[in-house]
Amino acid sequence: MGAFASRLPNGNTLISDQNNSRVIEVSPDGNVVRGYVTNLQPGSVAMPQPTRAVRLKDGNTLISNQFDDQVIEVDPSGNIVFSLRSLEPASTSSTRDDAKVVGDDTGLTPPSLTNLSS
């Protein structure tokens, strides 16, 4: 268990805090300016372990919850605007432990040639 962090263009840091089942945005002076607790959804396991969060261009945050086997998109107010869970039985499904957006310039994935030509 641990955390994943990425620096946002506004200078804040987006942190996936697995040990506390939350994703937070922290300002350079250490203040939490936005947060989302991942184990408060109906049906969530006690420790879903948000393994990665990515800030999208529209300001929403994409969060992967490893043990909830789910990827969610949360708006700045903390509302889930998109959710994807595995349709396979838990014994055969892979866990959703990583969230990435191709070509979003986060540095996690390089832009594809199709994105460069548009």
Q: Which residue has the higher pLDDT, 11 or 105?
A: 11
Residue 94 has pLDDT above 80, yes or no: no
Long-range contacts, 57-60 (Cβ 8 Å, 24+) = 57/104
pTM summary value: 0.69
Return the domain boundaries, the chain.
3-113
Q: Is the pLDDT of residue 8 over 90?
A: yes
Closest to 36 measured CA to CA, from 12, 68, 63:
63
Residues 71-80: tens digit of each pLDDT? 889 999 999 8
**Statement: 3-113 belongs to CATH 3.30.70.260:** no
98 has a pLDDT exceeding 60? no
Helices of type H across the chain:
113-116
